[in-house]
Amino acid sequence: MAQGAQSGRAASGVGAAVPRRRLSVKDEHAVAVVYVISLFMASMDGQIVNVALATLQRSFGVSTGSVQWVVTGYLLSLAVFIPASGWFGDRFGTKRILLAAIALFTLSSLLCALSHNIGELTAFRVLQGAGGGLLTPVGAAMLYRAYPPERRASIQPTLGLATIVGPASAPILGGLLVTHLSWHWIFLVNLPVGTASLLFGLFFLREHREADVGRFDIPGFVTAGAGLALVLYALNQAPSRGWLAPAVLVTGLGGIGMLVLFVRTELRTKSPLLRLRLLAERSFRRSNIVVTFSSAAFQGTLFLAPLYLQQGRGYTAFQAGITTFPEAIGVMCSAQLVRRTYRIIGPRRVISTGLAIMSSMLVAFAFLAPHCTQWEIRLLLFGLGLGVGQSNLPVNISAFANISSADTGHASAIYNMIRRAAPAFGVAVLSTVLVAADGHRLVPTAGAFKIVFLADALIGLGGVLFALRLNDADAASTMRRKGQPPAAVAAEGPRGVPSATTS
């Protein structure tokens, strides 16, 4: 069976020795700069719009359901384009597609700011989602091709700025812009960032194409895009309408059916839109399971903490943003530690410890005293940020440890599909728990928040269990030091203890 697994990996290109053009340090830094700036812009945009929803509702004089499509339209557009991102990058060139995605995202941000009604704003948000759906996975594929496995731990502090600090700082910036300027500025703020990233990438990025990508898989594109969009729509609507509402049931079950059809189609076609057989590689498969739990739990904290502070403790939106920001500081500190400890301890213990810290902080939140100080809350959030950084950043490294250059685009699309769907599922579940726990009151009670924080902690603990199943030997290439061959790391194991490779 082990021999069959190895032959399956070779057939799919996973872990195979693939000739690759080695980039210079200048090229590597160029990729990192463009990707991090662009990802920071895109990740912050999703959270900053949430801050302005009430203002948008008043400005356009529309219902809550209508203004919610500003978020939902963006989310569904992302779902459609993420699966196709790997093929587009491999076929037309990753530089060309990344810069086109940045340009589309930036231009649509301007159009959003110039919108005259809610219909225009929703349409331009859908356009913005198309850019965001291509930007993240294509940029990640460029990054992992530029940096060899042994150097990927060194860039995690920089990636943390984009993936975690961006969303964490969005409530502060959004509150300032909406309060002191206008809602238009939550979109206009993207213009200088996007333009700078676009110009820098235009001059310094190098192009990369794969030789043989095959024809565009139209059935795969339709079934993947429709299936993921329907599932995300159902998850988005379930907390407010109820899981048994006809619209939720029809779209949810329809989306699951489309995704099942997508899997069957991809496993049978010669040139699939996504090479799902990459999940046969153990480290990639297990890392994707872990990131499902860690992303759901982290997004749960971004959803719960501001809500708890505003509705449970009477903070303003700006006060809540200032109070939650220590979480981002914790992430930055943790990223520096991960950079140094990953090679010594290995991904299994680093990631599982981080998720355990995050879960313990959520349990502490559940039992906060009614009259605790603001600094006690900030200290807990700082600790939560330490756990988030220690779990979410290294799983990126272990996931791509054995992915070949030719498969990186497809692997990045799969990974980003899961990272997009998991937070939506986590927020939907926690929202449902909160609604059920507070008896449908307008303002949740302290007891309801206690229950929902404990539910989020359980999601994190699920991640701990799966993180303990990661095998450090699978990620040997990402743990080796400069000049050390991969075989030496695999034999040495974390902390110099001989390691046994299991199937």
* Pair (190, 252) in one structural domain: no
Nearest to 489 by CA among 503, 473, 469, 471: 473
* Pair (297, 417) in one structural domain: yes
* Residue 214 CA: distances (Å) to CA of 88, 297, 492: 11, 38, 41
CA distance 497 to 495: 6
Asked which of 162, 177, 212 is the last residue of a domain, the reply is 212
* Pair (299, 156) in one structural domain: no
Residue 329 lies in a domain: yes
Q: How many CA atoms lie within 13 A of 470 on its CB side?
A: 35
CA distance 281 to 470: 12
**Per-residue model confidence (pLDDT) at position 490:** 44
Nearest to 269 by CA among 193, 340, 218: 218
Asked which of 255, 272, 289 is the last residue of a domain, the reply is 272
* Pair (137, 257) in one structural domain: no
The DSSP output letter for 309 is I
What tens digit of pLDDT does each residue of 242-268 get? 788 888 889 889 989 989 998 888 888
Q: 3-class SS at 200?
A: helix
Q: pLDDT tens digits, the chain, 503 residues: what are they? A: 334 444 344 434 444 333 444 444 456 678 878 888 888 888 777 777 777 776 777 777 776 666 767 777 787 787 788 888 888 888 888 888 999 999 999 999 999 888 888 888 888 988 898 888 888 888 888 887 877 777 776 776 667 666 666 666 777 777 777 777 878 888 888 899 889 888 888 888 887 777 777 788 888 888 888 888 888 888 777 777 778 888 888 988 998 998 999 888 888 888 888 888 888 888 888 999 998 998 888 878 877 777 787 777 777 767 777 787 788 788 878 877 877 787 788 888 889 999 999 999 999 888 876 777 878 888 888 888 888 888 877 888 888 888 887 888 888 888 888 887 888 788 778 877 877 776 555 456 667 788 888 988 999 899 999 999 888 887 777 775 555 554 444 444 444 333 333 33
* Pair (339, 396) in one structural domain: yes
CA distance 356 to 351: 9
Residue 403 lies in a domain: yes
CB of 438 within 8 A of CB of 444?
yes
Nearest to 457 by CA among 383, 377, 355: 355
Q: In b/e form, how buried is each residue of 434-469, taking b as 16+ CB within 10 angstroms?
A: bbebbeeeeebeeebbbbbbbbbbebbbbbbebbee
Q: Please give the model's pTM, rounded to 2 decimal places.
A: 0.78
* Pair (165, 179) in one structural domain: yes
* Residue 95 CA: distances (Å) to CA of 42, 102, 139, 142, 427: 18, 11, 9, 8, 34
Q: For the CA atoms of the chain, what is the radius of gyration? A: 22
* Pair (300, 410) in one structural domain: yes
Mean per-residue pLDDT over the chain, rounded: 77
* Pair (206, 253) in one structural domain: no
Q: Which positions ≥6 away from 412 have C-beta within 8 Å?
A: 85, 86, 137, 138, 140, 141, 144, 400
- DSSP output for 40-72: HHHHHHHHHHHHTHHHHHHHHT--HHHHHHHHH
Residue 316 has a CB neighbour count (10 Å cut-off) of 12
Residue 45 lies in a domain: yes
446 sits in which H/E element: helix 446-467
**Per-residue model confidence (pLDDT) at position 1:** 39
Asked which of 272, 294, 315 is the last residue of a domain, the reply is 272
Residue 6 lies in a domain: no
What tens digit of pLDDT does each residue of 410-446 get? 888 888 888 878 887 887 788 778 777 765 554 566 6
Indicate the number of domains in the chain.
3
Residue 373 has a CB neighbour count (10 Å cut-off) of 9
CATH code (residue 402): 1.20.1250.20
* Pair (207, 97) in one structural domain: yes
* Pair (227, 198) in one structural domain: no
Range of the domain at 246: 217-272
Q: In three state form, how does the secondary structure of 68-105 look?
A: HHHHHHHHHHHHHHCCCHHHHHHHHCHHHHHHHHHHHH
